[in-house]
Amino acid sequence: MEELQYIKIPDYVTESGKATPIVLSYQTFGKSIYEAPVVLVNHALTGNSNVIGDSGWWNDLIGQAKCIDTDTYAVLAFNIPGNGFDDSPLIENYKDFTARDIARIFSIGLQKLRVEKLFAAIGGSVGGGIAWELAALKPDLIENLIPIATDWKSTDWLIANCHIQDSILNNSDNPLFDARLHAMTLYRTPESFTQKFQRSEKEPKLYNVESWLSHHGNVLKNRFQLAAYKLMNQVLRTIDITKYRGNFLEVASKISANIHIVTINSDLFFKAEENWDTYVELKSVKENVSISEIKSIHGHDAFLIEFDQLSSFLRPVFDINHVETKIKLEKQYQG
């Protein structure tokens, strides 16, 4: 695993006006961030900065000769402060933070690292929401914005389920276990469960689906911390690039990045219909926007499962020969 590095932000003030010191940890992979195009990878709710290598959660997408080739790009991944992956203090006052706060903290981190331009900012689920927030905060920072299985706002449906999660986390006798059971049913679909389990039993009076859910509950309970889950759930429920800024088109039309939306047809968490509505609306004011749809029965988690489809959508963005040819053609056209 690449070594964790740290950036101290001693005087951060949240959007809600609370002053708090922040320690922002990060890892880098591939080329140096000062010698190659930088790809910022934002992790999902229970993820971390360990993108590739041992226990790397996106090994199928990122690495040598992979879609995001570490022989070509510098990959940078921050830990959302308080996610518990490093030795920094956990954040107990989680209600003081929003997704925009995390984007602001990432922006400060980039400034301290002297990274003035990102070739791409990519993330799945809440990580993609933070990428949206970063693009709205710094409209000219990102060349390619790639939000996957996410949205530019937390919908009422998402807020409702985060509210249930928060209630479980604060009231259950076994909070991490119980919250994870509820979450896993949202990350997959009824069809996915049917294909996987077929009403089979692990033993008398115990269905395999029950055993599988309990396994995931125990795994998270053993590797995650309660304060971290509360914070991450709070970040998830507060994605909204329009708050205090104006309507969606007013905000999004200022983002100079090429926006490549990737949605999942069976996602029960961030609905595909919401992403298609975003695409149609944005296309009315912005040419450099596209949308791709992963076809899968596995729901929200398909962005961690359907790597062949995801890679096929993203290769034109990251194929260095394609990128260099595009730059040459643009220069000829401008010349």
Q: Are 321 and 219 in the same domain?
A: no
Q: Are 248 and 204 in the same domain?
A: no
Bridging pattern class, strands 19-30 and 5-13: antiparallel
Q: Are 110 and 138 in the same domain?
A: yes
pLDDT for the residue numbered 320: 72
pLDDT for the residue numbered 183: 97
Tell me which DSSP letter residue 207 carries.
E
Rg of the chain's alpha carbons, rounded to an integer? 20
Q: Are 11 and 19 in contact (CB under 8 A)?
A: yes
Q: Are 161 and 191 in the same domain?
A: yes
The number of folded domains in the chain is 2
Q: Are 141 and 248 in the same domain?
A: yes
Domain boundary among 234, 269, 292: 234
Distance CA 91, CA 273 (A): 34
Estimate the share of the chain in helix, then strand, then coil, as percent rounded to the nearest 5: 45, 20, 35
127 token code pair = 């990580």
pLDDT for the residue numbered 325: 47
Q: Are 312 and 217 in the same domain?
A: no
pLDDT for the residue numbered 242: 98
Q: Are 44 and 161 in the same domain?
A: no
The residues, ordered by sequence, that sit 6+ positions from 327 with a Cβ below 8 Å of its Cβ are none
> In tens digits, what is the pLDDT along the chain, a chain of 335 residues?
579 999 999 999 999 999 999 999 999 999 999 999 999 999 999 999 999 998 899 999 999 999 999 999 999 999 999 999 998 889 999 999 999 999 999 999 999 999 999 999 999 999 999 999 999 999 999 999 999 999 999 999 999 999 999 999 999 999 999 999 999 999 999 999 999 999 999 999 999 999 999 999 999 999 999 999 999 999 999 999 999 999 999 999 999 999 999 999 999 999 999 999 999 999 999 999 999 999 999 999 999 999 999 999 999 999 976 555 455 545 544 54
**Which H helix or E strand runs over 101?**
helix 99-112
217-262 pLDDT, tens digit each? 999 999 999 999 999 999 999 999 999 999 999 999 999 999 999 9
pLDDT for the residue numbered 231: 98
Taking the CA of residue 203 as centre, how many other CA atoms within 13 Å lie in the half-sphere pointing to its CB? 1
Q: Are 77 and 128 in the same domain?
A: yes
Domain boundary among 217, 234, 251: 234
pLDDT for the residue numbered 87: 87
Using alpha carbons, list the distances in angstroms from residue 322 to 60, 289, 293, 315.
21, 18, 22, 9
For the domain that residue 208 is a member of, what is the CATH number?
A: 1.10.1740.110
pLDDT for the residue numbered 329: 46
Q: Are 88 and 172 in the same domain?
A: no
Domain boundary among 234, 257, 287: 234
Q: Are 257 and 223 in the same domain?
A: no
Tokens 């922002």 correspond to what residue? 24
Domain membership of residue 162 as a residue range: 157-234
Q: Are 128 and 206 in the same domain?
A: no
For the domain that residue 76 is a member of, what is the CATH number?
A: 3.40.50.1820
Q: Are 31 and 71 in contact (CB under 8 A)?
A: yes
- pTM comes to 0.94
Distance CA 300, CA 150 (A): 9
In sign, the C-alpha dihedral spanning 175, 179, 180, 182 is positive
259-292 pLDDT, tens digit each? 999 999 999 999 999 999 999 999 999 999 999 9
Q: Are 222 and 313 in the same domain?
A: no
